Amino acid sequence: MRNKEFDFIIIGSGIAGLYTALLACDVGNVLVLTKGSIDECNTRYAQGGIAAAIGRDDSPEVHFQDTIAAGAGLCDTEAVRILVNEAGDRIAALIEIGVPFDTQDGEVALSREAAHSRPRILHAGGDATGERIEVTLSRAARAAHNITIMEHCLATEIIVRDGVARGVIAFDSQAGSMEEFRAPSIILATGGAGRLFKLTTNPDVATGDGIALAYKAGAEITDVEFFQFHPTALRLPGIPPFLISEAVRGEGGILCNVEGHRFMPDYTPDADLAPRDIVARSIVAEMRKTGSDRVFLNVTHLPHQTVTTRFPHIYRFCLDHGLNITKGLIPVAPAAHYMMGGVKTNTWGETNIYGLFACGEVACTGVHGANRLASNSLTEVLVFSKRIIERAIGGATAKSAVEERHFTLRKYDTSRITTPLRLAILQSLLWDNAGIIRSKEKLEEAALVLAAWYDTLQTPTDRPYYELCNMVLVGRLLIEAALIREESRGAHFRSDFPEPSPQWEKHVVFRNTP
């Protein structure tokens, strides 16, 4: 007989879910629900590392300024202050758990990434940071006596009564049965939604489930138009996009086009170390200019030992596919990578539904604004996961001070739409119409098709269809937000509104109204 009552239910098993579970198990019984195995998550693929101002020539204030600059006017300053001030303590906690960060001369090694003005990126195993953290946390969670982990169990509904989250209904995909679990604190840690797009660095599990769950339950969803496209994903025939870390350019990697020209200085004084949105759009412009589907990242001028020891996973992956990056150029192109928006929370991880929290990529704490600063995502998880547990056992609340505009999904006449709903068609539609460069015409085309699909969705009976339904809903939210925001800001670029507008220095917020 399965236990049905817990103090905490955590949905997701990446770093957000597992770290929160380890904090929560000190004060109560914890259930971790994960739709796949405990090891299926975005965390495993995080190569760059964790940002924290712990270097001698660094400070939380400098880290704050870098984060605000990258966020393009939409960061919540209070949330950013919390992030930069508490990052050091959370790093110490990870070290205490056993995460083996790389060291140099007896101290934690720090590297620099794009848009950071100081070296402040901690890494483990070179470019294996996410995997090392995930393995360490997974081992600790499995060993904890009051953490129950249910794998292959997909959350399908958050039970809300009288404005309070009461529990979760989940589909056990192995048994083919529905289960109901109850807890006073429900924590979403489901990760992102990169699988919405044809080209993505995300694993297959990143289908936006948490956003769909929260929206259907009545939680507020914000900033979903800001989807970050990583500028450098490996581009080889027949090989899914493989992340080539931001840290490669931080170590001195140089972008050049198919003609061998170093092009980034043509677009920005920051050159190869510009924020991701600028680099991604510059690469798109360069590919169009040269009629190619790729550019190249050059690290052949770096010492052989630097490349192989700092980026062992990248080096080995490329070598396994016939490319020695110490001798040849790395073909790269942008791919969908990280969702800045998500389930709206305050600085304690609370949503507008009492008892429902969110952390990690599924949440929008306001830290990232319109464009996430590299390696701030893992830092955000550590800082705000701890605050969620503090709040759940009693603490203060806080509200965002940034202006908001509330919306609902629009209704469309979809009677003439005959496009069949298929995963590949959905991913191509989002990539082509809501990718790196957007326009009203293409967004409206996609909005109509997605609305038609949404109207025809059936009751799911298996995991793939549950995921497809969630992706249709999240795709609609993304498209509608991108249509509403008639400007270009951060990762959101409209060719018909190519400049930022002061009147849009505010958040687009959706809430489901029955």
Active site residues: 276
Distance CA 398, CA 45 (A): 32
Contact indicator for 300, 324 with CB cutoff of 8 Å: no
Looking only at the bridges linking them, the beta strands covering 342-344 and 363-364 are parallel
For 7, 78, 90, 147, 148, the CA distances from 143, given in Å and listed in that order, are 18, 36, 21, 8, 10
| Helix count and strand count (H, E) for the chain | 14, 21
> Shortest CA distance to 341 belongs to which of 74, 118, 156?
74
Distance CA 58, CA 177 (A): 53
Copy the structure tokens of residue 223. Answer: 């900033």
Distance CA 130, CA 132 (A): 6
Contact indicator for 294, 333 with CB cutoff of 8 Å: yes
Grouping H, G, I as helix, E, B as strand and the rest as coil, residue 309 is helix
For 74, 222, 410, 462, 466, the CA distances from 470, given in Å and listed in that order, are 27, 16, 18, 13, 6
Contact indicator for 53, 84 with CB cutoff of 8 Å: yes
Distance CA 459, CA 455 (A): 12
Angle, in degrees to the nearest 10, between helices 376-392 and 77-97: 90
Distance CA 490, CA 290 (A): 25
| Residue 469 backbone dihedrals phi, psi, to 5 degrees | -60, -40
Distance CA 115, CA 508 (A): 25
Distance CA 353, CA 74 (A): 23
For 70, 168, 201, 341, the CA distances from 507, given in Å and listed in that order, are 16, 29, 26, 10
